[in-house]
């Protein structure tokens, strides 16, 4: 309906409509006097401004300036933003907007579809399908989040990073006992020393009480902020260096930039990773705190000890991030091809499901390297343990415990995925609201 059409609505119809949208995204977008209601002048102004923004978006999609958008133009525009979809999926997205069945979308169809959705640009419209790293499952090997130019200039990016960091902190704290059990089994479990979940928890509680289940969590939470900041800044620089076309980045370039950014961040904060492992495995009274732990490692083992297990850790980034992204893209394309009949918006549960499954597959692929890393970090703190390099440690595990010896502790690791994802998502959404980030 045009603005002229809206002006002829009766007052009673206006009030009924405003009651219907009260509390919605449109109210928050158009409410200038902040009374949580839209009067007619505010609503008219919202429509006019929103229509202008939609027109700009339509023009940016209409590559050949023929006044219509086809599926190839949608595919190209999404590719420019780093979201790769097949021709079939682009057709599905187009069908969800195409009213007259011509397989093209004109300005009227575009406006009707998005007029009451406060998505003001292409980035917002397709942000549902960007692979979000907000879901914190305790591992720091994910590709960093990407922000639009608008988010960078308005300062929204730091709010989103802060919301993500807080979500990660709460999530890791909530699942810390399972994380400690994972590390405990990675280092101490073997064929001759079978450790069950119940037995392991009993042992921990007997040795240090309930609070011992959270050992190492302090440094695990503390490293989120510096790692997130370094990863984000490095990612932006690597994208500029690797991009072959200014302003555009292809999927493989994004993967390379993300992997390099992850490696840079891990290099900077790796001593905290070593301390986290040592503090997680410590016996009661071994260290009085984080600084005491750092001091004793430095005194007894030297600076090199802070980089034990560094090589398998860096190598683990590639399979984790690669498989995580590949599985996510496959699940996304499957959903679009099977279920995107009326809309290309998948909803929260689908996105959480895709993110959880892809992250779990990434973990499964990189787990042996994570186990080797943890054992190398813990070597000096385990009595009678040989100081083995990576290759010899892999050989020893395979000889003594077989292939599945490389997957010790994977059960508690999988058990923490769903609660970690759930907690981080809920906290992230609350933080977004609290920081005033519009959804």
pLDDT of residue 132: 56
pTM: 0.70
Average pLDDT over residues 50-68: 76
How many other CB atoms are there within 10 angstroms of residue 205's CB atom? Answer: 14
The pLDDT tens digits for 112-132 are 777 655 544 445 555 555 655
Could you tell me which residues come within 8 angstroms of residue 51 by beta carbon, excluding any fewer than 6 positions away?
A: 3, 111, 115
Using pLDDT thresholds of 50, 70 and 90, give the confidence band for residue 286: confident
pLDDT of residue 340: 63
The pLDDT tens digits for 297-330 are 999 888 999 999 999 999 998 888 888 888 887 8
Could you tell me which residues come within 8 angstroms of residue 152 by beta carbon, excluding any fewer than 6 positions away?
A: none
For the domain made up of 3-125, give the CATH fold: Recoverin; domain 1 (1.10.238)
| Separation CA 375–CA 405 (nearest Å) | 12
Q: Is 277:374 a contact under the CB 8 Å cutoff?
A: yes
The pLDDT tens digits for 355-400 are 888 888 988 999 999 999 999 998 877 766 677 888 999 999 999 8
CA of 322: how far to CAs of 9, 146, 227, 352, 359, in Å?
A: 54, 17, 20, 19, 10
CATH of 149-434, one of 1.50.40.10, 1.10.10.10, 3.30.360.10, 3.20.20.110: 1.50.40.10
Using pLDDT thresholds of 50, 70 and 90, give the confidence band for residue 276: very high
Could you tell me which residues come within 8 angstroms of residue 209 by beta carbon, excluding any fewer than 6 positions away?
A: none
What is the DSSP annotation of 138-152? Answer: S---SPPP---HHHH
The pLDDT tens digits for 175-227 are 999 999 999 999 888 777 788 889 889 999 998 899 999 999 999 999 988 98
Q: Is 324:137 a contact under the CB 8 Å cutoff?
A: no
The fraction of the chain above a pLDDT of 90, given in percent, is 24
> Treating both helix axes as pointing N-terminal to C-terminal, what angle do 71-80 and 87-97 enclose, rounded to 10 degrees?
110
The pLDDT tens digits for 138-156 are 666 666 666 766 677 777 7
Check the CA dihedral 184-188-194-199 and report its sign. Answer: negative
| Separation CA 74–CA 56 (nearest Å) | 15
How many helices (H) and strands (E) the chain has is answered by 21, 2
Q: Residue 240: name the closest of 227, 257, 258 by CA.
A: 257
| Separation CA 94–CA 285 (nearest Å) | 63
pLDDT of residue 127: 57
Total residue length of the chain: 439
| Separation CA 103–CA 91 (nearest Å) | 8
| Separation CA 358–CA 370 (nearest Å) | 17
Check the CA dihedral 250-252-257-259 and report its sign. Answer: positive
Which residue ranges does the chain devote to CATH 1.10.238.10? 3-125
Mean pLDDT of the chain: 78
The pLDDT tens digits for 11-27 are 333 333 333 333 355 55
Which residue ranges does the chain devote to CATH 1.50.40.10? 149-434
Please list the residues that pair with 69 across neighbouring strands: 105
């Amino acid at each position: 309906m045009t603005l002229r059409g809206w002006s002829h609505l009766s007052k009673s119809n206006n009030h009924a409509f405003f009651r219907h949208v009260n509390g919605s995204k449109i109210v928050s977008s158009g409410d200038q006097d902040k009374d949580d209601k839209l009067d007619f002048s505010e609503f008219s102004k919202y429509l006019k401004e929103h229509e202008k923004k939609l027109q700009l978006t339509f023009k940016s999609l209409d590559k050949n300036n023929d006044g219509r958008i086809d599926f190839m133009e949608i595919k190209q525009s999404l590719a420019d933003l780093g979201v790769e979809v097949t021709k079939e999926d682009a057709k599905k997205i187009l069908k969800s907007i195409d009213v007259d069945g011509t397989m093209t979308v004109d300005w009227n169809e575009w406006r009707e579809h998005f007029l009451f959705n406060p998505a003001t640009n292409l980035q917002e419209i397709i942000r549902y399908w960007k692979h979000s790293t907000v879901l914190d499952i305790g591992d720091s090997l994910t590709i960093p989040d990407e922000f639009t130019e608008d988010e960078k200039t308005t300062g929204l990016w730091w709010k989103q990073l802060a919301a993500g960091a807080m979500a990660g902190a709460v999530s890791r704290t909530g699942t810390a006992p399972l994380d400690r059990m994972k590390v405990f089994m990675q280092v101490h479990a073997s064929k001759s020393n079978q450790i069950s979940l119940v037995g392991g928890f009993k042992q921990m509680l007997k040795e240090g009480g309930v609070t011992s289940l959270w050992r190492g969590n302090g440094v695990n939470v503390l490293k989120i902020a510096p790692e997130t900041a370094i990863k984000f800044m490095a990612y932006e620089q690597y994208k500029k260096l690797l991009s072959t076309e200014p302003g555009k980045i292809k999927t493989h370039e994004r993967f390379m930039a993300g992997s390099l950014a992850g490696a840079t961040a891990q290099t900077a904060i790796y001593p905290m990773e070593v301390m986290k492992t040592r503090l997680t495995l410590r016996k009661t009274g071994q260290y009085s705190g984080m600084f005491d732990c750092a001091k004793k490692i430095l005194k007894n083992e030297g600076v090199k000890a802070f980089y034990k297990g560094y090589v398998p850790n860096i190598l683990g980034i590639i399979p984790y991030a690669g498989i995580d992204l590949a599985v996510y893209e496959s699940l996304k394309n499957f959903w679009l091809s099977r279920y995107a009949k009326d809309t290309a918006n998948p909803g929260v549960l689908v996105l959480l499901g895709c993110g959880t499954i892809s992250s779990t597959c990434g973990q499964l692929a990189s787990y042996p390297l994570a186990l080797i890393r943890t054992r190398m970090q813990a070597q000096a703190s385990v009595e009678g343990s040989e100081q083995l390099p990576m290759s010899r440690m892999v050989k020893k595990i395979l000889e003594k415990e077989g292939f599945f010896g490389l997957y010790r502790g994977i059960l508690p690791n999988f058990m923490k995925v769903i609660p970690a994802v759930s907690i981080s998502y809920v906290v992230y959404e609350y933080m977004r609201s609290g920081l005033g980030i519009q959804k």
